[in-house]
Amino acid sequence: MKRDIESVEDIQKLVDIFYLKIQKDEVISYYFNEIAAVNWEKHLPKMYSFWQTLLFPPGPWRGNVMDPHFKLNKESQFQHQHFERWLHLWEDCVQENFEGEKANEAISKAKNIALLMEFKMKTTS
């Protein structure tokens, strides 16, 4: 039986697994590897902080999630399938490693993020 997301270490595990999948994914890896050319040593701690704040508020995250994505969208416009794929990979990572209230919350919050981000990308392009 899997356990729930209970700590910052659990978030780090989830985020690390997720972004390893992202980097290899045939649908959206190019956004991360080529368009954004993500520096993973800088990006991953930001994502740990972001998800910690969402799942265990108040948390350390301070920043604007949308601005970097708006810039990427100008370079290579996001499509519905990109948001679907991001969400699918997140859900898989959560469900493969955790179960429980916080795991369900992580999926729910990711769905909201994907919906909001997709809406904002469409309305600003």
DSSP of 13-54: HHHHHHHHHHHH-TTTHHIIIIIS---HHHHHHHHHHHHHHH
Weakest mean pLDDT among 17-31, 69-83, 97-111: 69-83
Residue with tokens 């990979």: 89
For residue 66, tell me if it sits in a domain.
yes
Contacts (Cβ under 8 Å, ≥6 apart) of 68:
36
Domain with 63, as residue range(s), is 8-124
Based on its alpha-carbon atoms, the radius of gyration of the chain, rounded to whole angstroms, reads 14
Q: Does pLDDT of 68 surpass 70?
A: yes
The predicted pLDDT at position 12 comes to 98
Q: Does pLDDT of 125 surpass 70?
A: no
For residue 29, tell me if it sits in a domain.
yes
Q: What is the pTM of this model?
A: 0.93
CATH of residue 49's domain is 1.10.490.10
Q: Identify the CA nearest to 49 among candidates 31, 30, 67, 62.
A: 62
For residue 3, tell me if it sits in a domain.
no
Domain count of the chain?
1
DSSP of 2-13: -----SHHHHHH
The predicted pLDDT at position 123 comes to 81
For residue 1, tell me if it sits in a domain.
no
How far apart CA 21 and CA 29 sit, in angstroms, is 9
For residue 61, tell me if it sits in a domain.
yes
Span 75-84, pLDDT tens digits: 999 999 999 9
For residue 49, tell me if it sits in a domain.
yes
